[in-house]
Amino acid sequence: MIENDLDFALDGNAAAGALREVFAADVTTAHIQCDACGSVGAVGSLRYYAAPMGVVLRCSNCAAILLRAVQTPHGHWLEMRGARRLRVAPT
């Protein structure tokens, strides 16, 4: 008997195909929603601040930080706590 949805859970490797479609897309055309003010726009319309270690993208409406991307010797780091959601259109 199935007790709840967790009974259908797989490990994260099963999501590889779906995530590949998200991370291989041109993210500048994706739509992102600001968690602070709720505005929605293309990632390419955000304000870009080039930092020595990477990228900071701010909301073009309220200037909240939506995305930080940093490259270090240990890998690429992506932080999007200021974004409510990201929508990548199907190709």
- Footprint of Zn ion on this chain (CB under 5 A)? 34, 36-37, 39, 59, 61-62, 64
Residue 66 Cβ vs Zn ion, minimum distance, rounded to whole Å: 7
For the bound state, the minimum distance from the C-beta of residue 31 to Zn ion, rounded and expressed in Å, comes to 13
Distance from C-alpha of 4 to C-alpha of 90, rounded to nearest angstrom: 31
- Burial (CB < 10 A; 0-12, 13-18, 19+), residue 9, is exposed
Q: Rounded to the nearest whole angstrom, what is the least distance from the CB of residue 54 to Zn ion in the complex?
A: 20
Q: Locate tokens 């709840």: which residue? A: 4
- Residue 36 or 69 with smaller CB distance to Zn ion: 36
